[in-house]
């Protein structure tokens, strides 16, 4: 078995993509093959966007809400039935006509503390002990219904470790045809450590054995059938928006000025944490999982304007993590023409 990460790409809110053609172009020339576009609803040019992505050998996973950031009780049969019907209707009417490469979802309760809309005792207890089993109860039921109607649809289950980290192994009972996309790996203090916090903290502590152990387990949670993905955070962000746009260069230039400083900060941060990131990426690459994916969260970052060094550095590390940090830095700088 070749030790490598099979699919590398970007995760973004589609409504924060200011020029989707250039965004995909910059992915393509960087050797990326997967983009996750998250929306409140299917964007108006979904077919065209996916067609263009395919011309560049990039697959598109369309993300939408299965109760994420919505009032929900993961233990309520009523809520499960309501969301199951909503999800089925959304796929049937909006995403199936696009003939999607895949969809991905997130549920409530795994991010933002996991508060139940009824503040029920079961959810309160699982918020304290980990919402893994409720995740399986809620999402597992919806997945089964979707698979029954759309057996060949690729589904990626997004799971934030903020709510699930104490009980993440419960997800091993999910259908093995489902990809699990892990976000926010646990660190000693804020849960979030490597591959980087949503907002970087220069004082962030180093990689721990606990995180290494969790990544190993995540890569073989369902044995050799594991299909695993990780979202690499730590880049400029802003979420929301409507449809992906096609702004002109002069607009991109103005917008990019806002984020230049943030990207510069990210460069120093990513270089500082590169050794830790490489350790995690090696574990993923060497794991027995049947499929391994890593997508960097680059939302609202003007990636369509410029392939920024910080993202390119991590991209280089993901493509071959079996190098030391100095080699990865050098290779990135050479490819970007930063070394004369
Ligand atoms: Zn509840």
Average pLDDT over residues 193-212: 68
User: Hey, what are 40's tokens?
Assistant: 């409140």
> Which pLDDT value is given to residue 304?
95
Q: Where are the domains of the chain?
A: 7-335
> Which pLDDT value is given to residue 69?
83
What share of the chain has pLDDT > 70, as a percent?
93
H or E stretch covering 20: helix 20-28
Using DSSP, state whether 4 is helix, strand or coil.
Answer: coil
Q: Which whole-number Å values give the CA distances from 326 to 31, 149, 332, in the listed order?
A: 21, 50, 10
The tens digit of pLDDT for each residue in 148-194 reads 999 999 999 999 888 888 899 999 999 999 999 998 876 555 555 55
> Kindly report the CA angle at 65 between 60 and 68, in degrees rounded to 5?
130
> Which pLDDT value is given to residue 340?
60
- For 7-335, CATH number out of 3.40.50.2300, 3.20.20.80, 3.40.640.10, 3.10.450.50 equals 3.20.20.80
Cα of 157 vs centre of ligand 1, distance in Å, is 20
Cα of 122 vs centre of ligand 1, distance in Å, is 6
Cα of 103 vs centre of ligand 1, distance in Å, is 26
**Alpha-carbon gap, residue 88 to 198, rounded angstroms:** 31
**Alpha-carbon gap, residue 107 to 114, rounded angstroms:** 10
The tens digit of pLDDT for each residue in 33-68 reads 999 999 988 999 999 999 999 999 999 999 999 998
Cα of 331 vs centre of ligand 1, distance in Å, is 50
Cα of 158 vs centre of ligand 1, distance in Å, is 20
Q: Which whole-number Å values give the CA distances from 110 to 72, 73, 127, 215, 302, in the listed order?
A: 12, 12, 9, 18, 28
Are residues 333 and 316 in contact, defined by beta-carbon separation less than 8 angstroms? no
Cα of 165 vs centre of ligand 1, distance in Å, is 19
The tens digit of pLDDT for each residue in 94-141 reads 999 999 999 999 998 777 656 899 999 999 998 888 899 999 999 999
H or E stretch covering 291: strand 291-297
Cα of 71 vs centre of ligand 1, distance in Å, is 10
Are residues 292 and 284 in contact, defined by beta-carbon separation less than 8 angstroms? yes
Cα of 171 vs centre of ligand 1, distance in Å, is 19
| pTM of the predicted protein model | 0.95
């Amino acid at each position: 078995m070749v030790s490598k990460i099979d699919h590398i790409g970007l995760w973004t809110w589609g409504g924060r993509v200011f020029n989707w053609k250039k965004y995909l172009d910059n992915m393509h020339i960087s050797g990326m093959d997967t983009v996750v576009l998250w929306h409140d609803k299917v964007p108006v040019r979904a077919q065209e966007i996916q067609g263009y992505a395919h011309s560049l050998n990039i697959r598109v996973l369309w993300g939408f809400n299965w109760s994420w950031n919505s009032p929900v009780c993961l233990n309520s049969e009523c809520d499960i039935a309501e969301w199951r019907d909503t999800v089925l209707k959304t796929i049937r009417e909006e995403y199936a006509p696009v003939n999607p490469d895949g969809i991905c979802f997130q549920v409530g309760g795994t991010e933002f503390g996991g508060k139940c809309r009824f503040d029920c005792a079961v959810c309160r207890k699982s918020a304290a002990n980990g919402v893994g089993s409720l995740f399986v109860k809620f999402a597992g039921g919806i997945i089964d219904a979707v698979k029954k109607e759309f057996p060949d649809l690729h589904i990626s289950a997004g799971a934030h470790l903020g709510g699930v980290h104490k009980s993440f192994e419960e997800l091993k009972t999910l259908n093995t045809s489902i990809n699990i996309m892990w976000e926010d790996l646990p660190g000693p203090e804020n849960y979030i450590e490597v591959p980087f916090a949503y907002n970087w903290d220069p004082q962030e502590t180093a990689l721990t054995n606990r995180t290494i152990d969790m990544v190993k387990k995540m890569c073989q949670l369902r044995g050799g059938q594991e299909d695993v993905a990780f979202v690499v955070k730590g880049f400029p962000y802003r979420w929301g928006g409507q449809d992906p746009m096609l702004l002109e260069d002069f607009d991109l230039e103005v917008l990019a000025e806002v984020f230049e400083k943030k990207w510069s900060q990210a460069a120093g941060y990513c270089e500082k944490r590169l050794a830790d990131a490489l350790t995690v990426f090696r574990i993923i690459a060497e794991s027995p999982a049947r499929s391994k994916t890593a997508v960097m969260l680059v939302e609202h970052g003007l990636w369509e304007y410029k392939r920024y060094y910080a993202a390119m550095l991590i991209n280089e590390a993901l493509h071959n993590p079996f190098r030391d940090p100095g080699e990865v830095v050098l290779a990135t700088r050479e490819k970007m023409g930063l070394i004369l």
